[in-house]
Amino acid sequence: MVDIDEKALIQRAGVLVSNDHLIYKSGQHGDKYLNKEHLVRLNAIEMVALLEKMAFNFCRVEQIIPYGGEIGVLGPAMGAIPYALTVASKLQRYFDGAARFFPARTELKTLPDGKKTHHFPEKLLAEYRGKKIIIVEDIVNAGTTIREVASLCRKKLGNDSVLAAMCLMERGGQTASSLGILSFHPLMVTPMPQHKPENCPLCKAGIPINIILGKGERWVNLFGQPPYPPGTDFSAFWK
């Protein structure tokens, strides 16, 4: 593996947005944002190097895979699907002979209420059933995707199907316990303090909300730009 400076690559790609006023999916506010769409600014060799370093760090910790057989490296739809093959290849080379690693994926389906949820394509479910899974993600914020996919695996593939999860970047605060899995391995951790809207220092300072990234556009459509009068009811955001 060629050693790389992952932080320099991420900085050059502009993935980390700082000194701004962002609204997260949770409805909390902060001054940083991880824009995973900017990962495409890296060339293919750089992206593969990032994924291989993430996988290598995972291998150094997970020296003994507690299962000898077939292990799917699962990239959840849609953004992480392309990562599964690269990571599976790295794990295959590192754990040569211990197991067969293969790329796996989920798809998204739209529910009657308009929400989207992960599911396994029926034609692939039979291939995945009874096998172990390692989840690979790009950026983990609240951890919603990992929790949902882990729950799907336990329901469809078996209660002990999920071995671990890894990701390129994590904003800080998520652990294996909080994600409901056995182990969790982020390549990079970028702490991103968050504030409840009623206590947000950025709002009180009247710093405009970014309406391009995160959930800023929806927030501003509902409440306008800050500052807000004391006692403002922000509950409409979660309805």
In the predicted structure, residue 153 carries a pLDDT above the cut 60: yes
The mean pLDDT value of the chain amounts to 92
Per residue in 65-111, pLDDT tens? 656 689 999 999 988 999 999 999 999 998 887 889 999 999 999 98
CA 202 to the chain's CA centroid: 26
In the predicted structure, residue 235 carries a pLDDT above the cut 70: yes
In the predicted structure, residue 16 carries a pLDDT above the cut 60: yes
In the predicted structure, residue 64 carries a pLDDT above the cut 70: no
* Of 51-60, 76-85, 92-101, 153-162, the least confident: 92-101
Query: Percentage of the chain surpassing pLDDT 70?
Result: 97
pTM for the structure as a whole: 0.86
Report the pLDDT value the prediction gives residue 68, as an integer from 0 to 100. 67
Report the pLDDT value the prediction gives residue 19, as an integer from 0 to 100. 95
Gap between the Cα atoms of 235 and 217, Å rounded: 16
Q: What share of the chain is helix, strand, coil (3-state, %, to 5)?
A: 35, 20, 40
In the predicted structure, residue 136 carries a pLDDT above the cut 90: yes
Closest C-alpha to 190, from 36, 21, 1 = 36
Domain boundaries, the chain: 1-42+195-239, 67-189
Report the pLDDT value the prediction gives residue 142, as an integer from 0 to 100. 79
Report the pLDDT value the prediction gives residue 117, as an integer from 0 to 100. 92
pLDDT band at 195 (very low <50, low <70, confident <90, very high): very high
Cβ neighbours for 108, distance < 8 A, ≥ 6 positions apart? 77, 78, 116, 117, 118, 119
Report the pLDDT value the prediction gives residue 67, as an integer from 0 to 100. 61
Rounded average pLDDT over 188-204: 94
Cis previous bond, 227, omega within 30: yes
Report the pLDDT value the prediction gives residue 113, as an integer from 0 to 100. 79
CATH number, span 67-189: 3.40.50.2020
Report the pLDDT value the prediction gives residue 26, as an integer from 0 to 100. 84
Gap between the Cα atoms of 176 and 181, Å rounded: 5
